[in-house]
Structure 1
């Protein structure tokens, strides 16, 4: 019934209609950097060594490698995929090894898979292995719980300790 004129209204009343909407738009507490979870980092694609590439030397990465060319040297990687046209002459050490092409040398892997087009000449030391029908393999197969180390760390530690004792005995 009764209404006041807008000229006489104090300033806070002009903000009154906006207050409910403003309260719903304001967060309860300021956001911290730790409140936001970062999105998982996308896995980078495998490094591809093309079929016209010939490498002489060792390769070492914590990532993934797809070989289509020729490598004369050792390879250490997380996932190694040997393409059908690829040839590797050297030792291969990887968590996962998928062989479609040719390897001449020792293969060490947690998971080793020889496809039907694989040609491997050398020993395979693995935790798990799969060999498809048609794969060509010449060598021995040995299962180990930790094939990536292969007991290499125990021998160098024992040799330096024995050498000083032999030197003292001969003096």
Structure 2
């Protein structure tokens, strides 16, 4: 079935396997690839439905919450499961809410499914709210909702001239 004759024949060899590479010194930083993006991991971290976390959670990866979190969450992608409750601010590039969130949600892409219950403001670049979702709060679109700091209030509409102090608005 298999023959070793090709392995022993002279001629160009294929790429060496990792086992046949010679050992290297301790300083290998010269050939290290640049820092891998946070997307190297494929499976999200899952907080199960019987878990309660008190405190803030921060990761560059993905999180799926099925339990209860009493604190802020910062992640690349966050999925709030059907049985989950989050009391705190959510900041993520992508947020999918199936369960309950009590607090502000900031994300580039925010999606509230039909089973979502959100009590708080949503600051987003794009948003989708399915029929049946329960939402109490305000929605504000920003180019960069993930920017640190306090969300700016919208300026009053440019109006009919100047204000009382004689300064233009």
Q: Which residue of 1 aligns with 2:57?
A: 59
Shift of 1:26: 2.2
Q: Which runs of 5+ in 1 are unaligned?
A: 1-20, 35-39, 155-171
Equivalent residue runs for 1:76-95 within 5 Å: 76-95=74-93
Cα distance in structure 2, aligned partners of 1:127 and 1:153: 13
Shift of 1:127: 0.2
Q: Which residue of 2 aligns with 1:71?
A: 69
Contact 2:117 2:134 (8 Å CA) reproduced: yes
Query: What secondary structure does 1:85 align onto?
Result: coil
Q: Which residue of 1 aligns with 2:102?
A: 104
Shift of 1:151: 4.8
Equivalent residue runs for 1:97-136 within 5 Å: 97-136=95-134
Cα distance in structure 2, aligned partners of 1:129 and 1:153: 17
TM-score (norm 2): 0.67
Total equivalences in the alignment:
125
Instruction: Give the structure with the larger helix fraction.
Output: 1
Across the aligned residues of Structure 1 and Structure 2, the Cα RMSD in angstroms comes to 2.7
Whether 2:127 is the aligned partner of 1:141: answer: no
Q: Which residue of 2 aligns with 1:26?
A: 12
Change in CA separation of 1:67 and 1:152 when aligned onto 2, cut-off 3 Å: same
Contact 2:41 2:61 (8 Å CA) reproduced: no
Shift of 1:85: 0.1
Displacement over 2 Å in runs of 4+ = 40-44, 150-154
Change in CA separation of 1:86 and 1:153 when aligned onto 2, cut-off 3 Å: closer
Shift of 1:149: 1.1
Query: What secondary structure does 1:133 align onto?
Result: coil
